[in-house]
Structure 1
């Protein structure tokens, strides 16, 4: 955007306004607040609306029997729904289009009214109106991943100057094997749990598979994923409504996936021109009913310019079915050229991760340096890849994460209170005059930069000076004395004179650092967290690793990821650290608290309501290790959080006599009462049902090594579930499945 502003002038370039409208769920929540209804009740009703793009409340009433029943039997719900329908679709706020830019020949204000959104100049007309006016609209989409790839190339070329991303093979077996195993943390587009499941089921073998997955993994087309995977593994099962479709759909295993395929069907089957096929495709994507109805007739019967399907030998019934399939799918269909560009970038990141993991992970970590949770996640992935991530070293670390023979080195920009200017000064001084000999030498050489007491404390507490003097407490206590000594030296103008004490142990040039006992391990870790945002030397929860593996039902990373909606309302147990506590007085003059909890994968907020506030006063003190039980709350208008059920100090929990005698608590990957079972068979009566969703939740939550077969009653097909949904068998889980599906619909085979 800066480029086009510089090239064409700021008065010829404007970004585009976009209006956020009240969607179905949002409308219900909004009216619920106005009516003063309890949030939990409104949230439950809102979530009865399927999470499908473009769905209306009226559609939801037709599709969800439970919602329809509530609407007809509960007066308040009836009123809530009726009012929500009236506000649904109304503009709610104005914002700026993520990528859209208008470029005009004369000043933009000559063509369209402008306004300011924050600091940005935007048009007052939305995208579609601008197109109707004939203005040139460009999309500029910036990707952080492109910077990651560029940085990775630079790191690789330090040792291999001939490396070029342009010359990597497009069919690397090892890369596709990595994707098929779901090892995609840090891989563009393929990081989410759901996407990993799709890749593990599909087992991609070429770039075409990646293009299709990116196109299909969105609400709407997602329903076609099982068919696509089945057809890919069983090509003999692929059927076409007419032989003419094979040439078009063969590349996507018999499924309509791309907008280009929709256009090709119009051309090949009905004789549409390129221009007319594109116009129909656009009408379908915008759901313009009048145009779709008219062009549907032309597709089947033709007109004076177009032959139509019937004249080309395709039966009327078949033509109608094909058009119906296209009309239903075209509003979600993806542009293949766009998907191909994304797939290529995804493949490149996968290739770099597989063959140059140190360089790629270092660049990836640099790109998310200001996102603590992502840094924690990617460092955990480095550990899985057996890549050592070293703490900061004042003589070795660069601005961002860098690589050395031992692994990856933490970057100086990751230290709080250390600005970019100081980081640049440190690196420049080190490159010009060599490594820093000791702490005093560092302070003296950087004395005319942005160096101050706060920055020094943060650097010390992060471990940046451990290679010069391995006693952080001694260094912190020496800061004021050293800075005062350097200031006095400069005043007396004796800089550069030989100091008799220069090489004596514990002495830094003209200042003797007093040796004092080092901080305790917990203090060191707390200061690392304070200065860098994460623990570098270890983790306060490491000594409780066995207990965590035994009783934590899922990690905080899982709860706040794309799994949040699946876990919504479920009670979870976690061994974690109380990071901070923020009390708040409610309208009723009672006290509640917002508690930030931290486990070894990330953080989450827990709400402690007034009825629990006093009960757990001691347990929720900062830096306490606790066992919490809470209900997952996945609200669309705020971050996923926990609602406190109970908090217990870890020592009290471990001292509990029942704990040592009890069997392991049910969790994701460690269940009790095991017996030798070869496979589990489940019968699903209705594919799109609450029972099906609950079953999938159970399978994903209690994953293990026992194969699961699912028989779909509607389709009369027996499918082997992906490994992600296999069970770690226990009688408790089988009992849970039977309670959802019924005893007759759950069977085991030994």
Structure 2
């Protein structure tokens, strides 16, 4: 069944790919002993060879590319260079550097240095600066990275963590050693330019996009297996629709919840459901991750195998989680259409001699909050779904903090308590 899925054939097709023998599996120790009982040395020699192999893939350390420090500069230490450009950035961001701001910046820089992540911040600020210098729209910041004064001073984010009382420890915590994760939004039309810049900066052989695997989930696996086994579309559709429409539901859970599915699984569709349960959760296909890019200190092939798709695209063979476990630098370059729409709007207004600085717009415009209170937010990032618009009508926000709370609550789990 699995071979047919991969080759797009039906099980009964006489011309489909078949194994030459039914023995394409790893035999047990007992099976091998029976096969080679007349040659016991063969078993012993095989065991000796296996025992002599000591292969372990090292994990637990980080492999960050070296950020190219300015050639004409006097600094050769990335920690000191980060501190120097951070100090300049803080002066630009804050007119009055209070003791609290200085203390917060020093604390963050000390943590970053102790964890060995100065290079990470230098790399990130470098490509964000490239985007801004080339008028490529960049998002103001997303996720826990907005809680860092260093990120704000470097221009990676545009949200003042001191003003909004955001915690740095949610982003980077010395008690929880893990690679920082900064997701950057770019204009969807020009995101590729930033990736091309990264490739030029660190070398074509050191940068690639990341693979992702489509899994065979409950409904999908039933449809795929049914097609391979030659069931009619109507029959397969009936079985698939008997599976409750719940996020990440498994076939076992569906059988417990759906009497109709249970009846079919115990009747004429028993073989279909049995095969589907075996294949459920397996990888169905490989594709390129929508945002992920990996950067290695030297050639990619020193750290991972590569995959070439049928379209000729090169990606890592390891997925995002595996790359993290290997300690490699992966970045999320997110293409956000809303940034593109805003950019086009500003340019159209410029043609009418209306100049708008998007980063300078007031955050207390009462007319804007009235639009939110009416649920007129289609096209506004993270506020345009039908459920969100209904809750906005109930909340009737009047301050920016109301929108922060609404956005934080509208996610699986907390949203059950919104009313």
Larger radius of gyration: 1
TM superposition score normalised by structure 2: 0.48
Of structures 1 and 2, the one scoring higher in RCO (CA 8 A, sep 6+) is 2
